[in-house]
Amino acid sequence: MCGICGKFAFGPSEMVAPELVRAMAETIHHRGPNDEGYYVSGPIGLGFRRLSIIDLQSGHQPLSNEDGSIWTVFNGEIYNYKELRALLISSGHVFKTQSDTEVIVHLYEEFGPDCIKRLRGMFALAIWDDNTKTLLLARDRVGIKPLYYCLSDSSLVFASEIKAVLADPSIKRKMVPELVDRFLTFLYVPGEETLLSGISKLAPGHYLLINKGNVVISRYWDLQFREPARGASFQEAEDQLLSILAETVELHMIADVPVGILLSGGVDSTGILSLAVNATNKKISTFTVGFSGGEVTDERPFARLAADKFETQHYETTISADDFATFLPRYIWHMEEPACEPPAIALYYITKLARKYVTVLLSGEGGDEGFAGYSNYRNLVWLERLKAAGPSLSQLFSRGFSLADSVFRSSRLTKYGRLMNDKFPNYYYSRTSNPYSFTGDGLGKIYSSDYAEAVNREYSLQPVRRLQDHVRGQNTLDAMLYIDTKTWLPDDLLIKADKMTMANSIELRVPLLDHRVLEFAASLAPSFKLRGRDTKHILKKALSKKIPGEIRNRPKTGFPVPYERWLRNDLKDVIWDVLTDSKTINRGFFRRDGVESLLKANSNGTNYSKEIFSLLSLELWQRTFLDEEQVVL
């Protein structure tokens, strides 16, 4: 696990300065504190920071082929590298290291850009072909590892993190105002654009090829939801899934350094642990986090239960409101893109603890997106079935939802009542059914009149609209899983997972997001994933004999960070000061009275914690990346 960066200068006489590449790499020192390396030759410069995981002695990068004509820098892990290495040796390639990185250069020699399709793992990489003066950038299928780039008329600059791209003084820090509405619609920024003008994300499952000024971006993989094999029983599918998971976890345990497991106390992480203990003869360390002050479900007793069953070396940490507030400015600096992800701060503190004992962590991230683990999936599938039953029945249920809301005061019922009269593409925007909360009646209009007038809703929704067109005609569950796998997963959850773990120089691996696991999940009938009220049905069944019943049968709680209470009480004054500050208001996006009304409503008991945390993240992001301030709260 590492950090990569580089620059390709266009034009026959253009040269890349070695000191620039070093400056870029230095900004991401935290991603690779063990080693650094550079290759600078004429128009190309490649930089590398290494966190040593495999082949500790000779895995130095940048790394070349036999004659030095092909060079690569690579961030990630290739889990099938031993198999590929054997194939390449049989074809006559000569290896000088035992690293997975060297497989990439020889694979490129053999297959060109199509070599990416043969890699199984998580990666962001660059390959320089000196023979043809071609640069290839590629990102793994799901987007586990990030890769940013800035393409101009004179150069292409790329890196694992935005801050390394910004180290090039030719790149100006300019915001895209239109994307503020996209961020506040989704509470993260889906799609390939970032809030910084000219800086883009290479989309998951894509590669970028640049030669003689021609730029081609191609998709090499997509998640296909297809009809399941006829005659395959649920039991056969369950057995096959367990076999795939066992193989995947075993591959993810490959390392020349200590490996641990993040335990949340849920089915996915406990299931990963149950498979990991069979894949190694070494004692496994496990880690979990709790929160001071109560009021949320404590995951630690369930994590201890799993740790005891599998006889791990178990460690815990506790974070407080003060810890949360203290880290917020660094949270913004590491995340680089605003996102409503308070659990990211808890992830930082638990990996800070883990770094004392291990260098690699496995987590259960991705099980919900692959196998339909969220209640939202179940509820909306049933909603669409009710609507399909006919308009009279839809109206009946809509009136019933509204009546129940007036009796029980349940906003959830109100939401579903509204959705009964709307079409699925109009309300399903990647994990939220309320995309206009910042301008809707619920909050009042907090946008300034000028900004509200400038907002283009279709532009804000563009990344998801494209995906909705792609899944048109697909069943409701598969459509939701596809959209989330393409947006919320890579642009929010996996950014959080990568940035917070790498902040502590920890490599995080996510076996449930191995592309073969996802492809198998996509091949299953929806009824194998959702059965009655049971979400993630087949995954739970496959792991049921391996995990304690108390964990298997407990309700899903998510990651219960008590940030709602902290924002309302402990951090109330700090938030008020930042969000009503003249600097914030003078940016021109928000009305002061609208922001104040939002904060007062939240203090009085209406839960606007997501909206407030998002506004806070946005302002701190602007101060950090536009104003270049050293933010202290």
Q: Encoding tokens for residue 317?
A: 């940490």
Number of domains the chain is built from: 1
Please check the confidence at residue 2 and state whether its pLDDT lies above 60.
Answer: yes
Q: In this predicted structure, what is the pLDDT of residue 401? A: 58
- Is residue 5 flagged as an active site residue? no
**pLDDT, tens digit (0-9, with 9 covering 90-100), for 96-141:** 988 899 999 999 999 999 999 999 999 999 999 999 999 999 999 9
Considering only CA atoms, which of 283, 354, 315 is closest in space to residue 503? 354
Q: In this predicted structure, what is the pLDDT of residue 432? A: 62
480 contacts 428 by C-beta, under 8 angstroms: yes
Q: In this predicted structure, what is the pLDDT of residue 296? A: 66
Least confident of 39-53, 407-421, 545-559: 407-421
Contact residues for 545 (Cβ-Cβ < 8 A; gap 6+): none
Q: In this predicted structure, what is the pLDDT of residue 408? A: 47
Considering only CA atoms, which of 81, 2, 7 is closest in space to residue 46? 7
* Residue 410 within a domain: no
Domain span at residue 168? 2-176+188-219
* Residue 257 within a domain: no
Pairing of β 206-211 and β 214-219: antiparallel
Q: In angstroms, rounded to a whole number, what is the distance separating the alpha carbons of residues 6 and 160?
A: 10
DSSP 283: P
Phi, psi of 605 (to 5 degrees): 115, -15
* Residue 104 within a domain: yes
Contact residues for 473 (Cβ-Cβ < 8 A; gap 6+): none
* Residue 556 within a domain: no
* Residue 215 within a domain: yes
- At 19 the three-state DSSP class reads helix
Q: In this predicted structure, what is the pLDDT of residue 549? A: 80
Burial class (CB in 10 A: 0-12, 13-18, 19+), 131: exposed
* Residue 339 within a domain: no
* Residue position matching structure tokens 């691996």: 509
- The alpha carbons of the chain give a radius of gyration, in whole angstroms, of 24
What number is the average pLDDT over the span 216-222? 97
Find the CATH number of the domain harbouring 85: 3.60.20.10
**pLDDT, tens digit (0-9, with 9 covering 90-100), for 261-294:** 999 888 999 999 999 998 888 889 999 998 886 6
What number is the average pLDDT over the span 516-539? 94
321 or 220: which leads in pLDDT: 220
Across the chain, what does the average pLDDT equal?
A: 90
Q: In this predicted structure, what is the pLDDT of residue 559? A: 60
Active-site residue (options: 2, 5, 150, 340): 2
* Residue 114 within a domain: yes
Considering only CA atoms, which of 50, 58, 115, 96 is closest in space to residue 76? 50
DSSP 315: E
* Residue 371 within a domain: no
